[in-house]
Amino acid sequence: MGDAADKNKGKWLFVAVFSAVILCILLYASGFPMPVPYGAAGFFGPRGAGNAGALARLDNQVHSPCSSLPDHTICCDRSDENADVCFMSGDVRTDAASLSLLLFPPRARSPAAGATAEEERIRPYTRKWDGKVMGDIQEVRLRVARPGEEAAGAAHRCDVRHDAPVHVVTAGGYNGNYFHAFNDGFLPSWVTVQHLRRRVVLAVLSYSPRWAGAYREVISGLSGYPVIDLLRDTRTHCFPGAIVGTRFHGYLAVDPARLRDNKTIVDFHRFLAGVYEPLSQSQGGGGGEPVERARQHHPRRPRLGIVSRRGTRVIENQAAVAELEASVGFDVDVLETGNGNAMAPPPLLSAVYAWRGVFSLIYRNEPLGLTQIYIAQPLRHAGQEIWMGLQTTSGARRQDPVFARRESSLSREYSPEHVVVADPERAKRRQGSTDEGDWDWDFVGRVYLNGQNVSLDLARFGETLARMHSRLLRQREREEGPE
C-alpha cells in the first residue's frame, strides 16, 4: 500500500513539473510579458529590443539625438530655443544634498561607444530664453557615479525603489499663474511623458501643497505614483531611468509631426476631459449656483455665461451687456472666478469643466486666459466663445471680434496716434525686433494685460450676438429636428 502511494505521488509530481515546464515554454514563445529585474537593460522596451529600446521609449520625440542611445548613459537635447530636456537610462538615484541624479553603470563596465559627457546640468523650465525667471529655477546635476562611489555606497543606498522612471519638473517660475501652469508646465509634461501612460514618477522642484491641491486631477492624470518633493525629501530614491525637463511645442500647442505617436492638442483635450469629467459628474456636476440655474433654464433659449473679472480686463458696462444679451434671446448668468481673476486657478477646476457643459455661449474679456478651453468639454449645441486674445490651435469654435480702439480704456490714456492704440502688434514687439511673435512681455503685461479694460459698443456687439443666437438656434434644429 505504501509503495503504491509513493508511486502515485511520484507520478503526480512528474506531471506537475512537466506541466510547469510546458507552460513556461508556451508563455515565452508567445511573447508573454515576463518580469524584468530592476535596472535591467530594456526595462521600457519590448523584450529582445536590447538597450536601445529602453531609451527610445523614454524619448517620444521624432529625430531626437537621444532616441537611440544605449542604456547606462546620459543624453541632453538642447536644440530647442525654449526648453532643454535630458534623459538617463539605467540605475538612477537621487542625491538630495547636491540636488543631483546619479547614474550607476554596472560594475567593471567600460563606457559605451557614443556615451555622452559624465555630467550635465539643466534648469527644467520651458522659458530658457527668459534670463529673469530662469535664474530662479533650481539647477539639477545629472552625472555618472565616479569610480569607487558605489563601493562607498552607503550614502547612495536605495531608501525607496521605484519601478518607473522619474520625470523632474518645476512648480516654480510663472507656474503660480493659471495660464503658465498649463502652458509652461502641464501641457509640456504631457507632451513629454504621455506615451508612458502614467507609469512615471513626478519629482517636483519648488513643490507646494497649494500647487498640488489646485492641480491634483491633472497631476494624477500624468502619474500613477505619489509626487516627490525633490528639495525636501532627503531619502535616496532609485529609478530605472529619468526624464529631466520637458519638450515645448509652442504656446498651448502640440505638434503631432514631432511626436512618434502623432498626438495632437485634441488628445490633450481628451486627457483633461478624462481627469475632470468623472469628478464633475461625481460632484453632481459642480459649478455652483449659476450652473444649477443654467441646467433649469428655458429649453428653447440658448444659455450664455459671462466670465466676470475684477481689477483688470474688466467689462466696464457688464450690466448693460447682460441686459442686451437677454434682449437678444439668451438666458444669461455671470460666472465669477474664485478671486475675480480668471488667470488664477479656481478652487476646483472641475467647476470650470461643469460650466462648459451647460452653456451654449461663454463671453470673456481675457487676452491670455484661454487656458480654460483645455479643461472644458465642448459647449452644447455647437456653442461659441467670444474673447479678445491670442489665436490657439485647440480646434474650439470661437468668435474673435475686432474691438474698436474706442472700446478699450487705453484710448482714454493715449492719443489716437500713439503706437499703443494705433498699432498694438508693433507696440507689443520687443524693441528692435522684426519678429512679430517676439513680444516684450513685461510691456504687454503692464499695458495690455494689467492696464486695460473694455467698454463694449452695444450696437456693434448686439449685431454679433444676434448672428450667434440665430446660428445656435439653426444648429439646435438640425441636431434635434423639428418639434
Instruction: Per-residue pLDDT tens, the chain, 483 aa: give them.
Output: 555 555 555 555 554 544 544 444 333 333 333 333 333 333 444 333 333 344 447 999 998 999 876 788 899 999 999 999 999 999 999 999 999 999 998 764 544 444 445 899 999 999 998 888 999 999 999 999 877 675 545 567 899 999 999 999 999 999 887 778 888 999 999 999 999 999 999 999 999 999 998 899 999 999 999 999 999 999 999 999 999 999 999 888 899 999 999 998 888 888 887 887 765 555 444 445 544 554 455 556 887 877 777 777 788 899 999 999 899 998 888 777 544 444 444 445 666 666 555 566 666 665 444 444 444 444 333 334 444 332 233 334 444 445 678 888 889 999 989 998 888 888 888 887 777 667 887 888 888 878 888 888 899 888 888 888 888 888 777 777 655
Residues 375, 108: Cα–Cα separation, whole Å: 51
- CB under 8 Å to 384, separation ≥6 — which residues? 360, 361, 362, 397, 398, 399, 468, 471, 472
CA 261, chain centre distance (Å): 17
Nearest-angstrom CA–CA distance, 363 and 347: 21
| C-alpha separations of 411 from 152, 168, 405, 416 in Å | 69, 46, 6, 7
Give the cell for residue 300. Answer: 428653447
Q: Supply the pLDDT for residue 331.
A: 86
Kindly give the pairing relationship between strand 303-308 and strand 237-245: unpaired
Alpha helices in 264-412 (DSSP H): 265-282, 289-295, 318-328, 349-358
Q: List pLDDT tens digits, range 268-314.
A: 888 887 887 765 555 444 445 544 554 455 556 887 877 777 777 78
Per DSSP, the three-state class of 260 is coil
Cβ contact 240:164 at 8 Å = yes
What does the alpha-carbon distance between residue 65 and residue 78 come to, in Å, rounded to a whole number?
10
Report pTM: 0.69
Q: Which residues pair with 301 in a beta bridge?
A: none
Secondary structure (3-state) at 420: helix
Question: Which pLDDT score, from 0 to 100, does residue 451 have?
Answer: 86
Using DSSP, state whether 454 is helix, strand or coil: strand
pLDDT in tens, 69-103: 678 889 999 999 999 999 999 999 999 999 999 99
**H or E segment at 192?**
helix 187-193
pLDDT at residue number 117 = 56
- Give me the amino acid identity at 241: G
CA distances from 269 to 184, 218, 263, 373 (A): 16, 12, 11, 8
> Contact, 312 vs 450, CB < 8 A?
yes
In whole angstroms, how large is the CA radius of gyration of the chain? Answer: 28
Tell me the helix, strand and coil percentages in the chain, rounded to 5: 35, 15, 45
Q: Output the nine-digit C-alpha cell for 389.
A: 486674445
Q: How do residues 372-386 score in pLDDT, each as one tens digit?
A: 444 444 433 333 444
User: d(Cα 3, Cα 238) in Å, to the nearest integer?
Assistant: 55
CA distance 395 to 398: 9
Q: Is the distance from CB of 150 to CB of 207 less than 8 angstroms?
A: no
| Inter-CA distances, 246 with 124, 267, 312, 450, Å | 7, 18, 32, 29
**Per-residue pLDDT at 416:** 87
pLDDT at residue number 13: 53
How distant, in Å, are the alpha carbons of 76, 390, 410, 427, 429 from that of 420?
41, 17, 8, 5, 11
Residue-range domains of the chain with CATH: 51-107+115-263 (no CATH), 284-408+453-480 (3.40.50)
pLDDT number for residue 389 = 33
